Chains A and B, each alone.
Chain A
Amino acid sequence: MAAIAVQLENVSRLFGRFPALRQVSAVFSTGQCYVLLGENGAGKSTLLRVLAGLLQPTLGVVRYFPQPAAAADPGRDKGGSGGSEDDRLRAARARIGYMSHSPMIYDELSAAENLRYFASLYRGRPVWTPEEALNTVGLDPALPRPVGQYSQGMRQRVSLARVLLSQPELILLDEPFSNLDARSAGQMLLLLGRLRGEGRCIVLTTHQRDLAAPLADQILTMEAGRLTSAAPGPASAPATELESALSPASPQTIQPELAPGASPA
């Protein structure tokens, strides 16, 4: 049975008086990939920031790794129990990888220097070496140029390498394919498929539905801050093209719950 990575219960988020999220309830499980669709301003990025623990919900509850972590993985921090609320949130964040629209790296440092710096901040957790992470995303670790001189697509890949560095159990990607050419996007898709097969939970937002759909176990749609539909994605079917390369999706996947009052598509 797939373990729960993060659970939202009636989560709302207001910016001033503007509701960016309205009573969103959902469960995201390990070994699953969730593709989040929606128009600009639908609340996708806000939802990812709430899932990442970077934004606190105005109303509602977010539960990270609710099952005792020790039972699932004895080597990991306990994200769900013990310590103060801040400690729990900090421990949970350490198990999450978040990639936003911005690359979240220093322009003045090379890719390897950036990753070495971030790897040093994940002490006590299993981390990849910068070389491993950069090789995984198809970049040359020996590239001495500062990241500021990279193309957008290369920066995007360094950003993904930063996310993967800490081997997160929950991977949150905001528009990961936006600056990539078709070949690079395909490579990233395969990489994400492999990560899903390793049991990681992936939640990604995109406007490129056709590109991301083969990876999706669940396709979620947001409108005006609400989660309006949750449909099984192609990857949840047994004979998907990608399925042979990936581990089979669990039949007991917990379906994302729709917010009260929301109408499924």
Chain B
Amino acid sequence: MTRPFALVHLAKDLRLEWRSKDALNSMLFFALLVVVLFSLAFDPTQAASRRIAGGILSVAILFAAVMALNQAWARELRHQVLDAQRMTPAPASSLFIGKAVANFLFVTVIEIILAPLFAIFYNLHPIGQGWLLAAVLPLGTWALVVNGTFFAALSIRTRNRELMLPLLLFPIFIPALLGMVQASSGILTGETDPGLWIKFLAGYDVIFTTASLLLFHIVLHAE
């Protein structure tokens, strides 16, 4: 039985990461560093600190993810592997979706490790429907990685690509970040209904995934 092209790319990316652990290690250490530094800067036992805890976690994951996304296409660039992939009849969109799903899994692993530690550290406990976080976090993470993977590919031929990615990604990601924060706050505090923001995130994901899939072919073959 033949696997879809996207799965072939995904399996390759997972295998490469399993061998090197480049993305996971860099993301995990960076995110932990941010969390520890913030805990030293702000007293985590104070109520005010707990209120910004969600934001600190989001920013830690966001910056850590950008570090990994900056290197998302590094292996393909190193020995012109991208050119070999361009020569194959596999559609460009399959390469993109394989890479985006791989990045999604890497960031999710970091979230799974970091979030419980953070919740314990800052004494966080949801008052609303905590299970809805299981919808909000993947939707927000996908919004981040789908745009990050796309813009990382867009900036691979630029001279200052490590600077270009955050410059391109953050403005585009702001609506999704707002949706994530509002939905998470609603869930954690139980004061507002997060349903609207979850739908907003889902809509954002559909729009930007579709746009990225349609445009990736142009980005991949641009010179």
Q: Which residues of chain A have a CB within 8 Å of any CB of chain B? A: 52-56, 77, 86, 90-91, 93-94, 96-98, 100, 102-109, 113, 117-118, 120-125, 146, 162, 166
Contact = CB atoms under 8 A, between A and B. Distances in A.
Contacts of B90: 121-123
Contacts of B2: 120, 123
Interface string B168-189: 0000000000000000000000
Interface in B1-36: 2-3, 5, 8, 12, 15-16, 19-20
Contacts of A86: 217
A100 B83 contact: yes
A54 B85 contact: no
A237 to B, nearest CB: 33
B86 A93 contact: yes
A96 B87 contact: yes
B75 interface: yes
B142 to A, nearest CB: 25
B223 A113 contact: no
B79 interface: yes
A106 B17 CA distance: 12
Interface residues of B, number: 24
Of B20, B75, B79, B217, which is in contact with the most chain A CB atoms at under 10 Å from its CB? B79
Nearest to A113: B15
Contact of A121 (B5, B20, B80, B217): B5
Contacts of B84: 98, 104-105, 118, 162
Interface in B53-107: 75, 78-81, 83-90
Contact of A120 (B8, B79, B86): B8
A120 B15 CA distance: 15
Given A55-B223, A120-B3, A123-B2, A94 B75 contact: no
A125 B89 contact: yes
Contacts of A118: 84, 88
B81 A105 contact: yes
A94 B83 contact: no
B86 A146 contact: no
Contacts of A90: 89
Interface string B35-62: 0000000000000000000000000000
Contacts of B223: 55-56
A56 B222 CA distance: 9
B87 A107 contact: no
A106 B84 CA distance: 11
A55 B86 CA distance: 11
30 contacts: A52-B87, A53-B87, A54-B83, A55-B223, A77-B89, A86-B217, A93-B87, A94-B87, A94-B89, A97-B87, A98-B83, A98-B84, A100-B83, A102-B79, A103-B79, A104-B79, A104-B80, A105-B81, A106-B81, A109-B15, A109-B16, A109-B19, A117-B12, A120-B2, A120-B3, A120-B5, A121-B85, A123-B2, A124-B89, A146-B19
B15 A107 contact: no
Nearest to B75: A106
A197 B88 CA distance: 24
B88 A108 contact: no
